[in-house]
Amino acid sequence: MKNNIFLSIALILICSCSSLAFWADDSDVDVVEPVALQPFKDDYSVFIEWKKSFNGKNSLGSFKPSFYSGNMLIADPEGSIFSVNPNSGKENWRINLDRQLAAGVASGFGKLVVSDVNGFVIAIDSESQEIIWEINIGGEVLSNAVISASLVLVKNSVGELVALNASSGEKVWSFRSQLPALTVRGTGEPIIENGIVFSTFDNGRLGAFQLDTGFFLWDAPISFVEGSSELENLIDADSAPILAKQLIFATNYQGNLTAFDIAQKRPVWNSKASSFYSPIVANNMIMVIQDDGSILSFSLANLSSSWISEEYLRRQLSSGAAYNNLLLVGDLEGYVHVINPMTGITVGRKKVSGNPIMSITTFRELAFVIDQESNIVALKL
């Protein structure tokens, strides 16, 4: 779980291009407890529509569902892919790939795409459920692929963004960023906007590429290194950028929330932030869930700071989601919290799992909560 509060957890998540010796004795580490939950005004009741369990550990929160032709597509770490009715949880079909998967399933343009722990990207026909092609891209893929009409985009653990031919799996183009000495295990998927691919990288930069050719257009820093040690200079960008108000927003660890102007091809605003997650836009606000459990909020109208919540410090918050103009976020005890984006005040809460919540996604009238044990809970307000 991506949280830098407990030293032991942070060290497990950090992978290095060179070997490191960690000398800290557990007896010397002061463990600070998560903030206790506070009373709140229950303005929104949270209802559980259905629950479904899948196999394997979702330790990084990289197993997120996708939605195609009205159905939910889910991959689990043990190698199964399921089609599920999102309203009822009823299973339509399943296939077993007999291999360990590294991230969730992407869907679109008649294809499903998953990746395994050995660096293979696998494309499957959405109608016949048969494998169309598979190719090894030289590194584990820890986030969902992105599918366009002609290409499949994936980002691997060695800092490479790869575009594959959607029909054959042949590599069309790739870009390899300069990998820093230390990175946080995990990657964020790229996004496509008006024929341009935007992707964050482990060196704390955002890059823009021409979709069809991979032609490098520009890149810029989300933040700069400021420390004197490799650990202090760890500024990994581990989440997808988002588009809002004609700006691209991106976050990184021990860095910033930064807004990039697409036309000017440069950063135009930033604010200190440290996050493993993409920003969330709801009700004309942009919010950042920080690694310490605090939440920052800014007005999209002028990017001024709005509110800061420390109500959930050290509660190892999940990625968040906008739902009915509200913010949903989960925590280490399996609670889902409903927060008013305008005030930062909690207006609803429900315990939906006995495990830590890893991610939340939405589709139509429902929100889908995924926990560390690969259980999915469908919620409705």
Q: Residue 161 has what pLDDT? A: 96
With contact defined as beta carbons under 8 Å apart, do 347 and 336 qualify?
no
d(C-alpha 143, C-alpha 110), whole Å: 20
Q: Residue 238 has what pLDDT? A: 83
Domain range enclosing 361: 1-61+281-381
Q: Which residues contact 215 (CB under 8 A, 6 or more apart)?
A: 209
d(C-alpha 239, C-alpha 377), whole Å: 23
Residue 311, domain member (yes or no) = yes
Q: Residue 2 has what pLDDT? A: 45
Tokens at residue 2, please?
Answer: 């991506």
Tokens at residue 136, please?
Answer: 């090894």
Q: Which residues contact 330 (CB under 8 A, 6 or more apart)?
A: 317, 318, 336, 337, 352, 356, 357, 358, 359, 360, 369, 371
Secondary structure class of 249 (helix, strand, coil):
strand
Number of domains in the chain: 1
With contact defined as beta carbons under 8 Å apart, do 92 and 70 qualify?
no
Residue 343, domain member (yes or no) = yes
Cβ atoms within 10 Å of 370's Cβ, excluding its own = 28
pTM, to two decimals: 0.89
CATH of the domain at 316: 2.130.10.10
Enumerate the β-bridge partners of residue 93: 83
Residue 255, domain member (yes or no) = no
Q: Per-residue confidence of the chain (381 residues) as pLDDT tens digits?
A: 444 433 333 433 444 333 233 333 444 555 689 999 999 989 999 999 999 999 999 998 999 999 999 999 999 999 999 999 999 999 999 999 999 999 999 999 999 999 999 999 999 999 999 999 999 999 889 899 999 999 999 999 888 999 999 999 999 999 998 765 555 666 789 999 999 999 999 888 999 999 999 999 999 999 987 666 667 657 678 899 999 988 999 999 999 999 999 999 999 999 999 999 999 999 999 999 999 999 999 999 999 999 999 999 999 999 999 999 999 999 999 999 999 999 999 999 999 999 999 999 999 999 999 999 999 999 999
% helix, strand, coil for the chain, step of 5: 5, 45, 50
d(C-alpha 321, C-alpha 314), whole Å: 19
Q: Residue 203 has what pLDDT? A: 87
Residue 323, domain member (yes or no) = yes
Q: Residue 14 has what pLDDT? A: 40
CA 331 → CA 1, 33, 337, 349, distances in Å? 11, 14, 8, 11
Tokens at residue 140, please?
Answer: 């584990």
Residue 102, domain member (yes or no) = no
Of 355, 309, 349, 305, the closest CA to residue 329 belongs to: 349
Residue 120, domain member (yes or no) = no
d(C-alpha 271, C-alpha 231), whole Å: 21
Burial label for 30, CB within 10 Å (0-12, 13-18, 19+), is exposed
What is the 8-class DSSP label of residue 150?
A: S
Residue 178, domain member (yes or no) = no
Residue 48, domain member (yes or no) = yes
